[in-house]
Structure 1
Amino acid sequence: MTQSLYKFTVWISQLAILNLLWLGFSLLGFVVFGFFPATVAMFIVLRSWLRGEDDLPIFSTFWRAFRAEFFKANGYGLIIVGIGVIVYSNLVFMSVNDSRSMLLFHIPLYTFVIFVALTLLYLFPVYAHYDLGFFHTIKQAFLIMMIQPIQTVVMLVGIVASVVVMRFIPALSFFFGGSFIALLIMATCYHSFQTIEQKQKSRPN
């Protein structure tokens, strides 16, 4: 019981430190250039913890990942922001031109937005877990999202529940707003990755 409580407090303190690192390094890159590499670094640290490597020094592991993945992570960020700008422009255009013909474009656009958003849930965990090429990472994130609907629902429920709790207790957002939600996503995805890898190993050659 005492040992379990100790492990729990260690995890909580580590998550708080990780969240502060994520916030700090995001601001270090003026958010625009810091957010995506800091997020990638956070997921890499969380993956290490889930693999049982929880004795790694947090700061040096985070800093190493942030520095190594800075340009590649910002490349993904550029694509994500670009898609966001295109979607927003289309939504504004459709709101101004609210003719019946425009209604035909609503369904495909909203469908596209949903698939992009769900793929983003898997993008950073796939990035942290696999050593893949730039566009192959996006493709793998999309494919895993498509074949793991239950895990996707679990992630969404966990994220919504976390956001609701943090709205009632705002202080939690400062210490765990990013790291705890990222842990929910990474833990769920890591379970999916292991399931997929076990199925691949069990296939006859």
Structure 2
Amino acid sequence: MTHYLYKITVWISRLAILNLLWLGFSLLGLIVFGFFPATVAMFAVLRSWLRGEDDRPIFQTYWRAYKAEFLAANGYGILISILGFIVYLNLIFMSVNQSGSMLLLHIPLYTFLIFSALTLLYLFPTYVHYDLGFFQIIKQAFLIMMIQPIQTVMMIAGIAASAVVMYYIPGLSFFFGGSFIALLIMATCYHSFQTIEKKQQSRST
């Protein structure tokens, strides 16, 4: 029992430190240029922990990933921001044009929004796990999202439950708002990655 309590305490302290690093390095890049590299670095650290590599210094591991992925992460940030802005403009346009033909455009737009949001959940874990090209990462994230619907539902449920708890206990957000939700996403995705890799290995043998 004492051993498990110790492990829980260690995880809590690590997640708190990781969240503070995420906030600090997001601000270091003035948020605009810091958020995406800081988020990638956070997922990189979480992946190393899930792989059992929890003896590495947190700051050095985080800083190394932040520097190495700064440009590529901001590349995804620019792409996501452009797509988000285009969707936002379309939503505004459709809100002021309520004709029958415009209403028909709601279905494909909302479908695109849903699948884009779900793909985004897998994007950062896929990026830190696979060594693929820029657009191949997006394609891989989309495909994994499509073939793992149960894991996706579990992920969304976990995020929603965490958001509710942090809404009623706002102080938790400062220490765990990013890192704990990222852990839920990374752990779910990592399980999906392992499942897919095991299936591929069994087919090749």
Question: What is the number of equivalent residue pairs in this alignment?
Answer: 205
For residues 167 and 201 of structure 2, the distance between their equivalents in structure 1, rounded to whole angstroms, comes to 43
Partner of 1:103: 103
Matched, 1:21 2:21: yes
For residues 203 and 56 of structure 2, the distance between their equivalents in structure 1, rounded to whole angstroms, comes to 34
Matched, 1:65 2:35: no
Residue deviations 1:27-73 (CA, integer Å, cap 9, x gap):
11010000000000000000000000111100010000000000000
Aligned in 2, Cα 1:199/1:105: closer, same or farther, shift over 3 Å?
Answer: same
Partner of 2:183: 183
Matched, 1:125 2:121: no
Structure 1 residue 204: deviation in Å?
A: 4.0
Residue deviations 1:98-156 (CA, integer Å, cap 9, x gap):
11110010000000000000000000000011111110000000000000000000000
Matched, 1:116 2:116: yes
**For residue 70 of structure 2, what is the amino acid of its counterpart?**
F
For residues 113 and 77 of structure 1, the distance between their equivalents in structure 2, rounded to whole angstroms, comes to 17
Runs of at least 4 residues of structure 1 off by over 2 A? none
Matched, 1:171 2:181: no
**For residue 76 of structure 1, what is the amino acid of its counterpart?**
Y
TM-score, with normalisation over the residues of structure 1?
0.99
For residues 20 and 78 of structure 2, the distance between their equivalents in structure 1, rounded to whole angstroms, comes to 24
Secondary structure class of the residue paired with 1:203: helix
Partner of 2:8: 8
For residues 99 and 165 of structure 2, the distance between their equivalents in structure 1, rounded to whole angstroms, comes to 40
**For residue 190 of structure 1, what is the amino acid of its counterpart?**
Y
Residue deviations 1:169-188 (CA, integer Å, cap 9, x gap):
00000000000000000000
**For residue 15 of structure 2, what is the amino acid of its counterpart?**
L
Partner of 1:151: 151
For residues 204 and 18 of structure 2, the distance between their equivalents in structure 1, rounded to whole angstroms, comes to 42
Matched, 1:140 2:128: no
Secondary structure class of the residue paired with 1:98: coil
Structure 1's unaligned 5+ residue stretches are none
For residues 174 and 98 of structure 1, the distance between their equivalents in structure 2, rounded to whole angstroms, comes to 41
For residues 112 and 134 of structure 2, the distance between their equivalents in structure 1, rounded to whole angstroms, comes to 21
Identity %: 79
TM-score, with normalisation over the residues of structure 2?
0.99
Structure 1 residue 77: deviation in Å?
A: 0.3
Partner of 1:32: 32
For residues 107 and 175 of structure 2, the distance between their equivalents in structure 1, rounded to whole angstroms, comes to 38
For residues 95 and 201 of structure 1, the distance between their equivalents in structure 2, rounded to whole angstroms, comes to 50
Over the aligned positions, Cα root-mean-square deviation in angstroms equals 0.6
